[in-house]
Structures are given as C-alpha cells and as structure tokens.
Amino acid sequence: MAAEVEKKPVSMIDPSQLLRPEPTFNDKPIDAFRDYSVDDTDPIKERVRRTYYLMHSNVTVDLVKQKREKWLKFNHFKATVKDALIKLNELVDESDPDTDLPNIVHAFQTAERIREDHPDEDWFHLTGLIHDLGKVMAFYDEPQWCVVGDTFPVGCKWADSIVYGPESFKDNPDTYNPKYNTKYGMYKPHCGIDNLLMSWSHDEYLYQFLLHNKSTIPEKGLYMIRYHSFYPWHAGGDYRHLSNEKDEEILKWVTEFNKYDLYTKSEKVPDIEALWPYYEKLIEKYIPGICEW
C-alpha cells in the first residue's frame, strides 16, 4: 500500500531561482534578481554552485533511467492535489529571496498573476498553482540536485548555456562516452524535444504524474510544466538542432508561463484561504480526487 505523505521537513535550495546567466534576463532591473556569481566566501553562492556541480557530475543517461523506473511507478503515496500543495509548504526553500514567505505563497502569486492577465483560461491558473508540485519527491530522500534547478537533455553534448557550463560536467562519465558526447549523441537531427531524455527533476515528474492520473489540463499547460526549467533551450537558445516545428509552439507557451514563474514578486500576499474555493474547483475540474504519486 502506498505510504501517506511523511511529516519530514526538508531544506531545499532551488538554484534555478537564483542564477540566470542567459542574455534574455540581462535587462531585468537590478532589484529583481539576486547576484549569484561565484564567490568562495559567500555560503549561499557556494551552496548553489555545489548543488549544480553535484547535479552535473551525477546526472547520466543511466541515472535518469533509474529515476524514471523509481518514480514512474507512482507508488510512493496517495493524496489529493490540495493536500500535496499544503505538504509542499513544509519545504524550507533556502533559495527563495523572500525566505519568510511559505512556498504556497509563490504558488498562489504565480497563479493569481496569470489569472489577472488570462482571466478566461482557468487551466492556466491551475498550471501556475501546481507547477512546482513535483518537488514532493524531496520528502522521499531524493537529493535536491535531482529535484530542483535547471534541466537539460542527457545523451548528447552539454550545451554552453547550461549553468556553470560544460566544465561543471568534468566528473560526469557521460562526458567521455563517445555515444553521448557529440552534438547529436543518441538523437536524430530535429527529433523534437519530446524525444529527448531530460535530466530528472520536478518538471518531468509532475508532467508524468499528470498523465498517469489522467489530468485534463490542455497539452500546452502540460508542456509549460514539463519544460519550465529547461532554460538552456527556452532562454539560452541551445538545442535548436534537436527541436522541430512543433517545439516552436511549445516555446511560445513556456516563455509565456515563465513571465509569471521567474521571480514572481508582489508586496501583496494573496488571501490564500479566500482563494482556495476557486482553485479547489479547478483541481476538481482538471485533476480530481485522490491521486497516485
């Protein structure tokens, strides 16, 4: 029988929220982004770098296959989406610039900002609310470098725009595997990002979770969730030799979503209790009942 969600606080840093090297973000105001350049004397910056180096040293084709085998059985626990959202609130995310605000505040801020701009697209509101829900893996001893941070495909040459660059993969065995270390690696030209084996993360897990539990969120919402951390592609401009025409549409959706996800800042904290009835109706509409995680 699947276990209940465990009562175990997790300290988790999400480096994808801290370090944005892509030119796309160069014109952001200085107060919108924290400076996470390399600094040996700064414990936060070192923690970010350590997280990424662990990720880049350990995430291989074989490891991703192992994680998919482990998590895509969906036998870890059973819970409603609302209960999982509340549980996620117990994560201590040391990467959040507003560390005194619970994670659920960011979820509601993201959803509400989307709702303001897209009032008639309720599936988009729900997508904003649940987009980080895959981080529940952290309650089951999954290391944070397999849960948070930017994503990238395995099985081909590491892109220059990946955070910390190809040098950070020097201890990864796939770096030296001729099957995987060429431009195309194990893929065909323009095979489509759907056919890439992505590094394991909360993005891919939540996407697969929604498919497994027969969510009716439209395809564009599922892709927003699946690729919102794939910054080397949607912000860095890499992997165009593997993408296809459909991916150009997906790129538009992901870029639109990330306007709301990346550094959602608002002085106004949403009245979460007042908003729950609206979002509970959306959960019931698109991903109802007790789900398998």
Output the pLDDT for position 215: 98
Within a domain: 283: yes
Could you give phi then psi for residue 106, rounded to 5 degrees?
-60, -40
State the virtual CA torsion across 266, 267, 272, 273 in degrees, nearest 10.
-160
Q: How many residues does the chain have?
A: 293
Give me the domain span that covers residue 228: 64-292
The per-residue pLDDT for range 222-245, each reduced to its tens digit, is 999 999 999 999 999 999 999 999
Greater confidence (53 vs 263) lies with 53
| pLDDT for res 95 | 44
Any domain includes 17: no
* Residues whose CB is less than 8 angstroms from the CB of residue 1 and which lie 6 or more positions away in sequence, other chains included: none
In a domain, 77, yes or no: yes
CA distance 139 to 147: 10
Query: Which residues are documented as binding site for substrate?
Result: 34, 93-95, 135, 149-150, 228-229
3-state SS assignment for residue 199: coil
Q: Is 223 among the domain residues?
A: yes
Residue 33 lies in a domain: no
Model pLDDT, residue 106: 83
Q: Could you tell me if residue 276 is inside a domain?
A: yes
Contact assessment for residue 128 and residue 224, using Cβ atoms and an 8 Å cutoff: no
In the predicted model, what is the mean pLDDT of residues 166-185?
98
Q: Which residues contact 36 (CB under 8 A, 6 or more apart)?
A: 15, 18, 19, 44, 45, 48
Question: What pLDDT is recorded for position 263?
Answer: 56
Q: Is the pLDDT of residue 136 over 50?
A: yes
- In angstroms, the CA 257 to CA 248 distance is 14
* Residues tagged in the binding site annotation for Fe cation: 106, 131-132, 202, 228, 261
Q: How many domains does the chain have?
A: 1
Mind listing the pLDDT tens digit for each residue in 38-92?
Answer: 566 677 778 888 889 999 999 999 999 999 999 999 999 999 999 999 988 887 5
For the segment 88-127, what is each residue's pLDDT rounded down to a tens digit? 888 755 443 334 567 788 899 999 999 999 999 999 999 9
Annotation: binding site: 34, 93-95, 106, 131-132, 135, 149-150, 202, 228-229, 261
Distance (Å) of CA 189 to CA 156, 161, 176, 233, 247: 12, 19, 21, 15, 13
What pLDDT score does 268 carry? 75
Q: Does residue 32 sit within a domain? A: no
Given this model, what pLDDT does residue 210 score?
Answer: 98
Asked whether residue 107 is assigned to any structural domain, the reply reads yes
Residue 152 confidence (pLDDT):
98
State how far the Cα of 259 lies from the Cα of 264, in Å rounded to an integer: 8
- 224 phi and psi, to 5 degrees? -60, -45
